[in-house]
Structure 1
Amino acid sequence: DRTTFAWLCDVYVPREARGRGLAKALLAAVRARMEEYGVPRVLLVTSSAQELYRSVGYDEVEPGKWMILPLG
C-alpha cells in the first residue's frame, strides 16, 4: 500500500510568538518530510489561516475550507 495523502491538523503558534516565521518553518519541515516519504499531497481544513497556507503553496479546494499542497 502506498500513502495517497498526508492530513495536516492543529498547527498552532501562540499569539505572543507570532510574526517570527515559526508557522512557515513548521510548514516547510512538514513539506520536506512528506516529500522525503514520497507523499504526493498534503490536505487540510482551515477557515482562519488560508493566507498563511496560500503563502507556502497550498491551493483552495473548497473556498473557506479545504486546501491542498501538491508535492513532487
Structure 2
Amino acid sequence: MFVFSSDVDRVDRALVHRWLSEESYWAKGRSRADQDAAMAASRNYGVYEEPTGRQVGYARLVTDGVFFGWLCDVFVDAAARGKGIGKMLVSGVLDDVTPRGPKRIVLATADAQGLYEQFGWAELSGEMTWMVRIRPDAEPAGDAPLA
C-alpha cells in the first residue's frame, strides 16, 4: 500500500538528491546544495510505502500559487514503477493546489506524455511562443525546463 503526502518534513532529501542527480535524465550531476535550495523554494510531495514509510516517489511544484506553476522533478523509484505511483503523485499534486491553485501548470517530459495527458496536459500551441533563457554560466546538466 502506498500513501501520498505533501508533508515536506517527510521527504528524504538525500534519497531524492540521489535519484535526481544519478538516475534522472534531466538532473544528472545536480549538486545537493542546488537541490536543497530548489526544494526550499518549492512545494514538495512524496509517495511512501506503508507500513515501512519508505519513500518511493517525489515531485516538486514551483509556483506563485495563483497564476503559474511548473511541475518538475517527478521521479518514481525503479523498484516501485508500474504500481501507479506516478499517477498518485500527479493526482496528489493537483488535488493539493485545486481549486484555488495556479491557472496554468507547465511541465517538460521526454518520455511520460501519456501519463500527463491523462490529467489534462497537452502540447503547447496557440498564439504565444514559449521561450527559455539559460544563464550563460549554467552547467549543461539538463536543468532547462523547456529544452
Pair in the same fold by TM > 0.5: yes
Q: 2:104 aligns with which of 41, 44, 53?
A: 41
Would the alpha carbon gap of residues 60 and 19 (structure 1) be closer, same or farther in structure 2, given more than 3 Å must change? same
Comparing both structures, which one devotes a greater share of its residues to helix? 1
Q: Report how far residue 32 of structure 1 moved.
A: 0.9
- In structure 2, relative to structure 1, the CA distance for the partners of 1:17 and 1:58 (3 Å cut) is same
Q: What is the percent sequence identity of the aligned residues? A: 39
Relative contact order, higher structure (CA 8 A, sep 6+): 1
Q: Is 1:28 paired with 2:91?
A: yes
TM-score (norm 1): 0.72
Name stretches of at least 5 consecutive residues in structure 2 with no aligned partner: 1-63, 126-144
Asked if residue 53 in structure 1 is aligned to residue 126 in structure 2, the reply is: no
Q: Which runs of 5+ in 1 are unaligned?
A: 67-72
Asked whether the 8 Å contact 1:6–1:34 carries over to 2, the reply is no
Change (3 A) 1:31 1:2: closer
TM-score by length of 2: 0.38
Cα RMSD after superposing both structures: 2.4
Shift >3 Å, 4+ stretches: none
